[in-house]
């Protein structure tokens, strides 16, 4: 089977290489020349275990090739970004529409068109379907169109693409069946055939569910701060109830899913989706909460008014053990702290945007942990005491074990942040 995957990013590369690794002839298309060159050299531009090994194997076998433009294929898979419009929070389908337009010269009867990009409900039927109908195709009869959203966790994509259940939403039943046959090439989880609009809403709602529950945890942190209660202890004890699972609070929500997908639902029914919008607002406001508390920590400990304190930012990716920094709340926090402090960034997973650990803590007055990388679990506390101007840590991800931190280092997290004004 010949497959053309348009978009070689966090989803497109794993998808393309897994098909190629299962005896399909795959062309991975991307408009970025640098990405195309790297992929053809066997270099994966994202940090994801096992993908590089699979890519090299596929290049050696001749089953994968990256190009700038689409070519004829049996199946076309669209995996381009879908940001939201900031004026009305609607789904920006410009990249998807552009990708669909780019394959039109190569589409022929009996082709299967699959859009993996997350879209607002009804997008496949109302926006994507007409693109191909205007070319004279009858969807469900001589061309098969489906929306098949991904469900993967960065850092474990290969396993999850293979073993997770897969939603296949066809414009017609035959469209769903045809697309399901494509994923049957390598997917070992259940392949669930449904309507495209149900697949669209399901994907958006999966991420909305998580966003709402994270918002509940983040709101709890703010409430406990006002009342002088340890929020982390509250969560730990409440979660011992057999039917309670309060999520982990954090400095905000990032990524291309949780931080965006809920808006796609809200934009379709803004007068009804009130909880969804409130949850988004709560999570979007967490960077302000972190900035405010960071300033209070510094004001209570930094005495030299003639110079700006140094803040060591630990982690700029939105997710631990990943180089994915899309929509990361770290950047908003950094931008809001720049006017009152000097920023040094340490992120071992994004070395191009950071410095090493020792340089990052040199003369620093605060380590601000914004990402739960494994490297932050066991820090070199002797070096911290030696290098930092004021040895203190504010852990917004609850990644550091407080019991391991020497008493000489002031340690704060969302459990004891209400003590930040105490010297």
DSSP 8-state assignment for residue 408: T
From the candidates 129, 203, 319, 410, give the one annotated as an active-site residue.
Answer: 203
Question: Is 203 one of the catalytic residues?
Answer: yes
Question: Is 204 one of the catalytic residues?
Answer: no
Are 333 and 287 contacting, i.e. CB atoms less than 8 angstroms apart? yes
**Dihedral sign, Cα of residue 413, residue 213, residue 123, residue 270:** negative
d(CA 198, CA 223): 36
Residue 415 CA, distance from chain mean position? 26
Size of the chain in residues? 423
d(CA 7, CA 22): 20
Nearest Cα residue to 171 out of 225, 132, 229, 220: 132
Burial letters 377-410, b for 16+ CB under 10 A, else e: eebeeeebeebbbbbbbbbbbbbbeeeebeeebb
- Torsions phi, psi of 102, nearest 5? -70, -25
What residues contact residue 339 under an 8 Å CB cut-off, 6+ apart? none
From the candidates 257, 319, 344, 387, give the one annotated as an active-site residue.
Answer: 257
Quickly count helices (H) and strands (E) in the chain.
16, 13
3-state secondary structure 64-99: EEEECCCCCCCEEEECCCCCECCCCCCECCHHHHHH
47 by Cβ neighbours in 10 Å (0-12 / 13-18 / 19+) ranks as middle
The DSSP bridge pattern shows strands 166-170 and 143-147 to be antiparallel
Burial letters 164-184, b for 16+ CB under 10 A, else e: bebbbbbbbeebbebbbebbe
d(CA 233, CA 402): 13
Q: Which residues are catalytic?
A: 203, 257
């Amino acid at each position: 089977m010949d497959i053309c995957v348009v978009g070689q990013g966090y989803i497109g590369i794993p998808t393309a290489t897994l098909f190629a690794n299962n005896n399909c002839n795959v062309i991975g298309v991307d408009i970025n020349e640098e990405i195309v060159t790297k992929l053809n050299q066997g270099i994966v531009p994202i940090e994801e275990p096992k993908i590089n090994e699979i890519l090299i194997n596929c290049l050696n076998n001749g089953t994968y090739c990256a190009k700038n433009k689409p070519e004829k294929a049996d199946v076309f898979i669209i995996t381009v970004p879908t940001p939201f419009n900031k004026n009305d929070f609607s789904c920006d389908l410009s990249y998807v529409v552009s990708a669909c337009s780019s394959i039109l010269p190569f589409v022929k009867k009996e082709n299967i068109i699959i859009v993996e990009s997350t879209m607002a409900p009804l997008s496949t039927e109302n926006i994507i379907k007409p693109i191909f109908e205007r070319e004279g195709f009858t969807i469900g009869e001589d061309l098969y169109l489906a929306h098949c959203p991904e469900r993967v966790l960065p850092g474990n994509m290969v396993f999850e693409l293979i073993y997770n259940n897969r939603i296949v939403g066809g414009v017609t039943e035959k469209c769903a069946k045809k697309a399901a046959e494509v994923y049957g090439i390598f997917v070992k989880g259940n392949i669930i055939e449904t309507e495209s609009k149900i697949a669209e809403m399901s994907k958006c709602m999966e991420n909305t569910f998580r966003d709402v529950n994270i918002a509940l945890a983040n709101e709890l942190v703010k409430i406990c701060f006002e009342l002088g209660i340890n929020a982390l202890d509250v969560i730990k004890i409440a979660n011992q109830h057999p039917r309670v699972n309060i999520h982990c609070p954090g400095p905000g929500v990032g990524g291309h899913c949780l931080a965006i997908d809920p808006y796609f639902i809200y934009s379709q029914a803004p007068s009804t989706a009130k909880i969804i919008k409130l949850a988004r607002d709560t999570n979007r406001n967490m960077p302000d909460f972190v900035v405010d508390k960071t300033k209070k920590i510094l004001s209570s400990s930094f005495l030299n008014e003639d110079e700006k304190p140094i803040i060591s930012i630990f982690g700029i990716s939105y997710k631990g053990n990943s180089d994915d920094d899309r929509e990361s709340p770290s950047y908003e926090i950094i931008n809001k702290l720049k006017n009152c402090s000097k920023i040094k960034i340490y992120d071992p997973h994004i070395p191009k945007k950071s410095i090493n650990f020792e340089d990052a803590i040199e003369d620093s007055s605060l380590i601000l942990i914004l990402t739960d990388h494994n490297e932050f679990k066991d820090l070199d506390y002797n070096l911290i005491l030696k290098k930092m101007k004021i040895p203190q840590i504010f852990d917004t991800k609850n990644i550091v074990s407080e019991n391991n931190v020497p008493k000489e280092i002031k340690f704060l997290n969302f459990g004891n942040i209400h003590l930040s004004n105490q010297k």
